[in-house]
Chain A
């Protein structure tokens, strides 16, 4: 064959010019890899969304309209079990004072500096609720407790109902383009809390908040690179050694892998990619996927050498034999990973593209660099008569499938359909705290806080009055009040922060703290003037600009939710929107905005776009298979073992997890290219047996099992091991991705060994029968 000849000539040339090839490869890889210095980490969750995502735009608009409210949420728990003691309140005030020094902080909210309004004589005093504690009497402490547990702005937000847990909320305004800012804030806050805790050991402390989340994202991404990549290298070393029993092979494949990763990451750097949680798993994935190329080439070479072929001839022959399968499996894997571009958000695009580049680099390096290296390095092999790869177990399996192909077909079709059906029952869930493993401090601290103080998930509204300065309109304030009461009555709600509460409180204080006046003012001028007075009484950093927009036409309305699922959150939002439609003027209508909802929306859209992208990729891959197998029929048959594993895997996912997040949606694209490989190997051998060796369908199955069965099982083990490494990530995204991918690959193997042969036998035997009858 002309093509084979060309490849052979090429391989010969590589071996002959091995030093030149080695040098050239090093120069090329280095120049690509030098882009690695441009790689930065991006830890802003915004990067998960496309720039034109409507929910994100609405969210950012809200933050621009009021204030940006990225925060660090510090919770302190006195071991005495009582927040309202002199010692505790004084310590809290000290922490609050220290917190103003947090980089980029704009506001600190705590019990100590809560702006309490009360009337004294004819005047309204606005002052710190619990500062300067040393000089307070016991009755003053009692007063502070009464107020704190009564104020809607504090209860279930800054202090819990039992008065055993209290919080300090530090609002920060992070600069737009500083990637290190969240890390800086996180490090500062941790040191601050540690220092404070050292002085006051009688407290337990917990830290949460958006900044801590973003910081933990980055920390884990980097941690993954630091721990998982070396672990992966170890796994690879072991696998290569077990399959080849050769140190030089280990060295060669490590070299190829290392260069592949370097090329991919370097190119990513040149492209200006910012690394994130998902994309930082690219090196692990590249290794997992690329090692197969090296193993195929090395194993074949060593086999040939054992038969007595000289090393250089053996490697040339190995390249010749393996070129096509390695090429096709690489192409399909690349196509699969490129479908990640259909998902939303740069992290997944980057993951797909970096991995695709890595797989491409691995292909070229395996074909070019690997033979050159093999030619240079010493390989010692004992020549021995090999019993031609007969594995009794695989024979048994082949015979079993052949004898029972009808029941196998029936059972596996039923199982596939049944389990696939379950895949539809997976619930969407994007509680972003659960992106983190329970061993991550951010996760455990946040869980504690949501169990003991307040919710973590917010729903936000900007409610318009329809005109400038309209927020003092009694009709607006009353409606706000109603909306607030409605939300408070919902069982999923922990806390509501509404501007109407401020007006009620100020109104009461303007009327001698008379509880009868704890309601919104009835007169617009009064409301506006009370508000002016109140605003002029507020100190540095504690103004209302985070609640009122610039022309006083809209106010911010924040609902804190219990730990509910995304679906419940979506349902609640819909109910609230309906309430606004039914009860409030049109100008007041607003969609609920929340980061958790944003993630839910993109999980939904990702699922759709990944399905579409996956379908496109499937068609493309099938075309490649039809071309590679030179058969339309087998190309079509291959669709079944290619599609079913992912459907079954999602069904199994329902049984063990039941919830789908953004990360697992992309597994669809990722696994497609991998799953195809087994099918290609089995089908090509089967077809070869049928066409070239003129075997019966049964014998062709036996032949396919004997020739590639072992290889398929080995690569599945390698891949599963690789993705199991990814499962070790503390970053839920990555471990979920690893888990589902591993499941898919194992399912694919089982289906390829059972369903595919049963299918082939059924179809081909029917055809043979028809032929014979004719």
Chain B
């Protein structure tokens, strides 16, 4: 008898629960997955970038790099970044393997001593080259690195966006949460707001100058990070973005090639 009642109750629940109803968490995860899917298959690209650092007094300084990026099926992406300026670090190269689960791997090649050094993996939330970008802001944003929560649809500068809250899973993350605004039409990020470990608003990242590459992949050519707490900001401009760069292969990402990287 008991089991029959259970079955009936369960059946009733199934019948009367609207199939579309998702928890905000499920919906958030779904949207993030769709966003990842929309960008899936980009393969590889290379680009150069100029980072402009500005402090509270308005003093600025620039850092130039160029990099090679490759999509990895089933795991996080690989990247190789070579520093062009400041002069003293010219030729210094960093290689990163992002992972969906666990810590990323990162190496740095120092031309002055001709050595490759591994970087402490747990410390990825520090500032990148003294900028307002943390390393974790620049590495690939894997869905698995966060818990997601859908908040709602909002209009941002006339663009309808999904508003999502994401909670980093790694304990070493510098953030308690990030709020991401994804364009409803094409899932590209328009704005991300970062909250520090005590849940105070820390930084806002705004994406602009979007361009479509290889027919379907949106890339922002400008990213502006404003730190609300210290008044500093960093502007990151990309150029020479080239998709399907034949020079990028699996071989690009070895410690030996890191030493030869140009």
Contact = CB atoms under 8 A, between A and B. Distances in A.
A binds B: yes
Contacts of A123: 117-118
A552 B229 CA distance: 21
A176 B165 CA distance: 29
Contact of A548 (B57, B59, B130): B130
A537 B123 contact: yes
A492 interface: no
Interface stretch (A60-68, A426-434, A604-612): A60-68
Interface of A: 61, 64-65, 67-68, 100-106, 122-127, 173, 468-469, 472, 510, 523-530, 532-533, 535-545, 548-552
B197 A540 contact: yes
Contacts of A539: 122-126, 172, 174
A529 B89 contact: yes
Interface string B131-157: 000110000000000000000000000
Nearest to A175: B229
B159 interface: no
A765 to B, nearest CB: 71
Contacts of A524: 88
Given A106-B229, A550-B55, A536 B111 contact: no
B22 to A, nearest CB: 32
A550 B120 CA distance: 24
A101 B197 contact: yes
12 contacts: A64-B231, A65-B55, A67-B230, A101-B198, A510-B113, A532-B129, A540-B125, A540-B174, A541-B174, A543-B127, A550-B55, A550-B61
Contacts of A124: 117
B55 A64 contact: yes
A529 B127 contact: no
B119 interface: yes
Closest 7 CB pairs of A and B: A528-B88, A540-B174, A551-B61, A540-B125, A525-B112, A539-B123, A538-B126
Nearest to B61: A551
B88 A529 contact: yes
Summarize B's interface: helix, strand, loop or mixed.
loop
A552 B130 contact: yes
A100 B87 CA distance: 36
B257 interface: no
Interface centre among A101, A127, A472, A542 (most CB of B within 10 A): A101
Contacts of B135: 536
Contacts of B61: 468, 550-552
Interface string B97-132: 000000000101011110101111011111111100
B79 interface: no
Given A106-B229, A468-B86, A529 B57 contact: no
B63 to A, nearest CB: 10
Contacts of B64: none
Contacts of B127: 535, 543, 545
Contact of B120 (A103, A127, A527, A540): A127
Nearest to B90: A525
A102 B199 CA distance: 11
Contacts of B110: 526, 529-530, 533
A723 to B, nearest CB: 44
Contacts of A64: 55-57, 231
Given A64-B57, A536-B119, A539-B122, A528 B197 contact: no
Contacts of A526: 110, 112-113
Contacts of A528: 86, 88-89, 112
Contact of B230 (A61, A173, A548, A552): A173
Nearest to B106: A536
Contacts of B33: none
Nearest to B110: A529
Interface in B203-237: 229-232
Contacts of A510: 113
B94 interface: yes
Contacts of B117: 122-124, 533
A525 B90 CA distance: 9
Most chain A Cβ neighbours within 10 Å, of B83, B88, B134, B172: B88
A542 B200 CA distance: 18
A236 B71 CA distance: 83
Given A173-B230, A540-B134, A532 B126 contact: no
B184 interface: no
Nearest to B128: A536
B161 interface: no
A545 B61 CA distance: 14
A525 B110 CA distance: 9
A524 B122 CA distance: 28
A551 B59 contact: yes
A535 B118 contact: no
Contacts of B178: none
Given A529-B111, A551-B59, 12 more contacts: A64-B57, A65-B57, A122-B115, A124-B117, A173-B229, A539-B123, A539-B126, A540-B173, A540-B174, A549-B59, A550-B55, A551-B60
B123 A126 contact: yes
B97 to A, nearest CB: 15
A472 B120 CA distance: 23
Given A123-B117, A540-B172, A525 B122 contact: no
Contacts of A540: 125-126, 134, 172-174, 197
B176 to A, nearest CB: 10
Contacts of A538: 123, 126
A549 B174 CA distance: 22
Contacts of A106: 229-230
A506 B125 CA distance: 20
Interface string B30-59: 000000000000000000000001111101
Contacts of A103: 198, 200
Nearest to B113: A526
Contacts of B94: 536
B183 interface: no
A523 B89 CA distance: 12
A103 B200 CA distance: 8
Nearest to A528: B88
A65 B59 CA distance: 9
B92 interface: yes
Given A106-B229, A123-B118, A469-B87, A532 B108 contact: yes
A469 B118 CA distance: 24
A126 B173 CA distance: 16
Nearest to A119: B117
Nearest to A536: B119
Contacts of A549: 55, 59
A537 B125 CA distance: 9
A550 B53 contact: yes
Contacts of B229: 104, 106, 173
A523 B113 CA distance: 10
Nearest to A100: B197
Contacts of A552: 61, 86, 130
A105 B196 CA distance: 10
Given A535-B127, A536-B119, A538-B126, A472 B88 contact: yes
